[in-house]
Amino acid sequence: MIRKLLRRIFRRPEDNARTRASHSGPVHIALAQHGISCDALLPAARKVCETLQAEGYQAYVVGGAVRDLIAGISPKDFDVATSATPEQVTAAFRRARMIGRRFKIVHVMMGRDTIEVTTFRGDSDAETDEHGRILHDNVFGTMEQDAERRDFTVNALYYDPSNETVVDFHHGVADLKQKTLRMIGDAPRRYREDPVRMLRAVRLAAKLGLAIDPDARDPIRSMASLLENVPPARLFDEMLKLLTSGHAVRCVRQLREDGLHHGLLPLLDVILEQPMGERFVMLSLERTDERVREGKSISPGFLFATLLWHEVLADWEKRKTEGESSVPAMFEAMGAVLDQQGEKLAITRRIATDIKDIWSLQPRFEARAGKRPYRMIELPRFRAAYDFLLLRAASGEVPQELADWWTDFAAADGSAREAMLRPEEAPKKRRRVRRKPSASQSVVPE
Ligand code: ATP
Ligand code: MG
């Protein structure tokens, strides 16, 4: 309450700059200049706008979709912004569902598509924490206010399918053409309001091939630590978006070039500060980028398993040298690494299970005798664990020969498989080791 009052009285010059920018009024850009005909839209998005407009509301396709179409990229999703309240939107469609507690948005279902419809939002008096981070952003606003609370100028574009015009409040189309990612308003203030915008800046610049405007880029280094105050679940989502954007390598390189990875995210520190793991991680990100670009699916569990693997290896080695026996030490190390990341990054339980499955199978690739290889290839997680092994071999962590052996073994028929088994690891000997009573005895070399 008091903070709101103070903010109103002591408006900073940067606030005035924001106000001034938006008061100059929007530019209406015609089809001939932007080149996006309404046929380029997902038909469902167009229909949602038409229906709302027919009811007398303003309705536009907004944000990433308009930006991507102008940049010649096919949009991931189509969002609509409207002057209708969530209740009015819901009433206008047969299949619509309101979601969210504080700021409600509406999912309108049309055939197999879902369009996210958001009421214009204003943020002038949003409640903030002690660092200036906006906690609740739940005030309806005008279209102009809605444009002002968006992050980058290229994201504040509104497309009206009825006249194929782009309404541009902050010169986003010009910035897009000039390949610049520019923050709306004062960048440090916008980062304080929502530190995730720093990650979005890097991701969107990499995705769209834009240079981050120095005003938006320079503060990131000193403000990166504000990401610590962001809820871990949100950071996880954003990090996943960054890593599965199809431009993960470029994003991570840029973060490093600018020295932004320090403290930006614990996970990135981990990735980029470990010389041993760097090759492995970069290979994994390259393959992920390739898969995204080929339209193939990405398993977040696999991805995070690769990113954190060398942390596990280091911790595992440490525990073994301290005298813990191999298998329990491995499980302890996995738990410790996931816990440490979990403080900052809410890795969901399902993904954590996938990660552990992949990790825990790695030592079992060493066993190439007896029945164990047969059991191994029957496991449901064999394929993921095997792909992981291929990456370990490609990065030089384990001999290529080991990976090739498993490739051949999986492809071979019954008798060929038998011929491949290694005789020296007699199963009998291992059974004897397992029967030994104490852990300290079992680590004595035979
Ligand atoms: P993409 O969908 O390609 O990942 P996007 O920019 O569309 O990128 P979304 O998360 O889909 O990202 O957000 C949709 C729109 O909402 C953005 O274009 C932007 O206008 C606005 N937006 C998203 N996140 C923020 C934020 N943190 N601060 C301000 N505006 C935001
Ligand atoms: Mg989007």
Domain segments of the chain: what residues? 2-184, 231-421
Q: Encode pLDDT of 244-285 as tens digits.
A: 999 999 988 887 777 666 666 666 776 677 676 788 888 999
Q: Is 395 helix (H, G, I), strand (E, B) or coil?
A: coil
Contact 21, 170 (CB under 8 A): yes
Residue 289 falls in the annotated catalytic set? no
User: Is the CATH number of domain 2-184 3.30.460.10?
Assistant: yes
Given the residues 15, 77, 237, 258, select the one marked as catalytic: 77
User: What is the atom index within ligand 1 of the atom nearest the CA of 77?
Assistant: 2
Task: For the beta carbon of residue 198, count every other beta carbon within 10 angstroms.
Answer: 28
Would you call 336 exposed, middle or buried from its count of C-beta atoms within 10 A (0-12, 13-18, 19+)? middle
Question: DSSP string covering 275-303, please?
Answer: HHHHHHHHHHHHHHHHHHHTT----HHHH
Residue 68 falls in the annotated catalytic set? no
Average pLDDT rounded to a whole number, residues 118-143 = 78
Q: Encode pLDDT of 195-207 as tens digits.
A: 999 999 999 999 9
80 Cα: distance to centroid of ligand 2 (angstroms): 11
Task: For the beta carbon of residue 3, count every other beta carbon within 10 angstroms.
Answer: 13
Would you call 101 exposed, middle or buried from its count of C-beta atoms within 10 A (0-12, 13-18, 19+)? exposed
Asked whether the domain spanning 231-421 has the same topology as the one spanning 2-184, the reply is: no
Residue 339 falls in the annotated catalytic set? no
Residues 6+ apart with CB under 8 A from 169: 21, 22, 25, 26, 27, 144, 147, 148, 156
In the predicted structure, residue 9 carries a pLDDT above the cut 70: no
139 Cα: distance to centroid of ligand 2 (angstroms): 21
pLDDT for the residue 126: 65
In the predicted structure, residue 319 carries a pLDDT above the cut 70: yes
Residues 6+ apart with CB under 8 A from 297: 291
In the predicted structure, residue 371 carries a pLDDT above the cut 70: yes
User: Is the CATH number of domain 231-421 1.10.3090.10?
Assistant: yes
- Count Cα atoms within 13 angstroms, Cβ side, for 319: 20
Alpha carbons 228 and 234: distance in angstroms, whole number: 11
pLDDT for the residue 144: 95
In the predicted structure, residue 108 carries a pLDDT above the cut 60: yes
35 Cα: distance to centroid of ligand 1 (angstroms): 22
Alpha carbons 373 and 7: distance in angstroms, whole number: 67
Q: Which of 20-34, 135-149, 292-306, 430-444 holds the top average pLDDT? A: 292-306
Average pLDDT rounded to a whole number, residues 56-78 = 95
Q: Encode pLDDT of 136-185 as tens digits.
A: 666 889 999 999 999 999 999 999 999 999 999 999 999 999 999 999 99
pLDDT for the residue 151: 97
Alpha carbons 159 and 27: distance in angstroms, whole number: 12
pLDDT for the residue 435: 42
In the predicted structure, residue 358 carries a pLDDT above the cut 90: yes
Residues 6+ apart with CB under 8 A from 30: 164, 165
Average pLDDT rounded to a whole number, residues 432-439 = 42
Q: Give residues (CB < 6 A) around ligand 1.
A: 63-64, 76, 79, 150-151, 155, 194, 196-197, 200, 241
> What is the chain's mean pLDDT, rounded?
85
Name the pTM for this structure. Answer: 0.81
